[in-house]
Amino acid sequence: MMDIRIWTFLIVGLSFVLYIGIAIYCRAGSTKEFYVAGGGVHPVVNGMATAADWMSAASFISMAGLISFMGYDGAVYLMGWTGGYVLLALCLAPYLRKFGKFTVPDFIGDRYYSQTARTVAVICAIFVSFTYVAGQMRGVGVVFSRFLEVDITTGVMLGMAIVFFYAVLGGMKGITYTQVAQYCVLMMAYLVPAIFISIMVTGHVIPQFGFGATLADGSGVHLLDKLDGLSAELGFAAYTSGTKSTIDVLFITAALMVGTAGLPHVIVRFFTVPKVKDARKSAGWALIFIAVLYTTAPAIAGFARLNMITTINGADSQGTEYSEAPTWVSNWEKTGLIGWEDKNNDGRMFYSGDERNEMHIDRDIMVLANPEIADLPAWVIALVAAGGVAAALSTSAGLLLVISTSISHDLLKRNLMPNISDKLELRYARGAAAVAVCIAGYLGINPPGFVAQVVAFAFGLAASSFFPAIILGIFYKRMNKQGAISGMVSGLLFTVAYIVYFKFINPAASVPENWWFGVSPEGIGTLGMIVNFVVAAVVCHLTPAPPQDVQDMVESIRYPQGAGVAQVH
């Protein structure tokens, strides 16, 4: 019978062959194919690719882990990321598609009739994308370190090699169809173990129903009631109670929502469809595809939490002999993501939320370890590994394309080297992607936090820089270049300074008492966005109005007629 490692090599290896094969078959031959897949992607296909682009390592690996450890408080990530996509689909996607350009800096540069505005937008796009991609590369390292039994550094380098190949070769055309395959892999990897465990724990085939059902042991106790009781007994806050302040929950949720609507690698997906109405359709399809995973995450979190506590502490909650520990504990110990310290020298492992705790468990392992904790077949465990890799690589590819496009198209073609040939621009785009892969790999090996936390920072940066400039650019024709540039710079600098201070300069001070208005670094992007709006509005009204032709262009974007065709200048 094949063990987990062989199954992992087989399933992950086959998925890599599929991705690389698609990249070779769909190799980009022009800048239009490299940037926007030729602008001819079907809405359903684009919706699936957008969902894969959207469901990163943070969604696949880390979100259920956050909910598992934080309980109710972890729901802010679920609400913020889901609500943000709705905001993007309704308020931004159709209008940006009608504008008919390749990138967000393209829109900002032309809308605000300024190369300076374009350059600021390029810097923001690169900054946001690198912060985001660090979390993805870290996710790849976590997957490989466990299932291929290599250290995280080696795992990240393997991920770099794969994503380099199909992102640099295929461009957006290759990435789009690769992401369709990755969506299928990651959804199977998420749903199959969820269904297995839901049947085992509650008897329900549908995990979403199992989450609110009674346990299958005949006790008549609901899953959430059992988790609340166990949590309180072990010194944790009740699973269904919140410990974050209302203001922090509000600000984190808002930062994730508006950050979503400002993420350049998601926005660019709406430039790949033929018409404006197709952008609306693909947004709807993407929301359906995303909902499948997002509504399953709380169930996976609950099942994993219950099984983890039970297997570590034993059925009697007195601890488990370390010599008799389940194999998943020793397997994950090798990666350094689980640790045990025998505080009372009794040879028994014990997990709690107070001074009795002897276990260190990295929250990023919960989804990946979940099938092992539940003792599912080896092929299911390997399938989850393939899904985790697919989630991380699909988003990494989209982000790296944004970085390379920002440099080659927005910075060089539209700014510094306007007479560059199509062929040379494509070469620069691939070179920029190659350099970006190396930097992303370094950030994955030396990340500034756990996966979802790093990604939350990226959303905050997008919220404080891009979102106000885009939304004002579409809906407020009086907004001028001076206001937009001042707003983007001030919002971004404020948010970066806050995050850097509390996470790197003085992390010991990162407690609610020291936060401004009680807002954590994960939620500060909302305050940065407010700073952006205020500064932009003040500067705008102290400086001349935009030219009439720019105001007319803004007016035309908001009318429903006309499709606009993605162009290269």
DSSP annotation string for 500-528: HIIIII-GGG-STTTSGGG--TTTHHHHH
What is the C-alpha separation between 203 and 210, in angstroms, rounded? Answer: 7
Instruction: Look at residue 204 and tell me whether its pLDDT is greater than 90.
Output: yes
Predicted confidence at residue 564, as pLDDT, reads: 47
Q: How far apart are the first and last CA of the chain?
A: 59
Of the candidate ranges 59-68, 108-117, 478-487, the one whose mean pLDDT is the lowest: 59-68
CB 54 within 8 A of CB 82: no
Predicted confidence at residue 162, as pLDDT, reads: 76
Higher-confidence position of 498 and 264: 498
Of the candidate ranges 278-292, 338-352, 489-503, the one whose mean pLDDT is the lowest: 278-292
Of the candidate ranges 30-44, 212-226, 283-297, 528-542, the one whose mean pLDDT is the lowest: 30-44
Query: How would residue 563 be classed by pLDDT, with cut points 50, 70 and 90?
Result: very low
Sort residue 203 into left (φ over 0), alpha (ψ -120 to 50) or beta.
left
Predicted confidence at residue 568, as pLDDT, reads: 46
3 state DSSP class of 161: helix
Query: How would residue 350 be classed by pLDDT, with cut points 50, 70 and 90?
Result: very high
CB 192 within 8 A of CB 383: yes
CB 65 within 8 A of CB 338: no
Predicted confidence at residue 210, as pLDDT, reads: 92
Mean pLDDT of the chain: 81
Instruction: Look at residue 483 and tell me whether its pLDDT is greater than 90.
Output: yes
Task: Extract the tokens encoding 547.
Answer: 């030219």
What is the C-alpha separation between 271 and 278, in angstroms, rounded? Answer: 10
What is the C-alpha separation between 493 and 461, in angstroms, rounded? Answer: 9
Predicted confidence at residue 542, as pLDDT, reads: 93
Predicted confidence at residue 27, as pLDDT, reads: 63
Instruction: Look at residue 183 and tell me whether its pLDDT is greater than 80.
Output: yes
Instruction: Look at residue 205 and tell me whether its pLDDT is greater than 90.
Output: yes
What is the C-alpha separation between 4 and 502, in angstroms, rounded? Answer: 41
Instruction: Look at residue 567 and tell me whether its pLDDT is greater than 60.
Output: no
125-144 confidence digits (pLDDT tens): 887 777 777 777 777 777 77
Instruction: Look at residue 415 and tell me whether its pLDDT is greater than 90.
Output: no
Q: From the CA atom positions of the chain, what is the Rg in Å?
A: 24
The DSSP call for residue 241 is S
CB 60 within 8 A of CB 293: yes
What is the C-alpha separation between 92 and 89, in angstroms, rounded? Answer: 6
Q: Smallest Cα–Cα separation from 373: which of 321, 325, 335, 440?
A: 325
Return the C-alpha torsion angle 139, 145, 151, 153, nearest 10. Answer: -20
Task: Write the CB contacts of 464 (distance below 8 Å, at least 6 apart in sequence).
Answer: 491, 492, 494, 495, 524, 525, 527, 528, 529, 531, 532
Mean pLDDT for the stretch of residues 75-84: 81
What is the C-alpha separation between 162 and 13, in angstroms, rounded? Answer: 11
320-321/348-349 β-pairing = antiparallel
Instruction: Look at residue 120 and tell me whether its pLDDT is greater than 70.
Output: yes
Is the CATH number 1.20.1730.10 carried by domain 12-304+376-464? yes
Instruction: Look at residue 554 and tell me whether its pLDDT is greater than 70.
Output: yes
CB 194 within 8 A of CB 299: yes
Predicted confidence at residue 259, as pLDDT, reads: 81
What is the C-alpha separation between 8 and 189, in angstroms, rounded? Answer: 12
Handedness of CA 376, 378, 381, 387 (dihedral sign): negative
Beta-bridged to residue 359, according to DSSP, are 340
CB 15 within 8 A of CB 390: yes
**Which residue reads 């990226």 in tokens?**
458
CB 177 within 8 A of CB 26: yes
**What count of residues does the chain have?**
569
Predicted confidence at residue 384, as pLDDT, reads: 87
Higher-confidence position of 478 and 50: 478
Beta-bridged to residue 161, according to DSSP, are none
Most confident of 18-32, 184-198, 397-411, 550-564: 184-198
What is the C-alpha separation between 444 and 226, in angstroms, rounded? Answer: 37
Predicted confidence at residue 406, as pLDDT, reads: 78
Higher-confidence position of 307 and 448: 307
Predicted confidence at residue 485, as pLDDT, reads: 92
User: In sequence order, what DSSP letters do the residues of 268-280 get, joined into one string?
Assistant: GGGGSSSSHHHHH
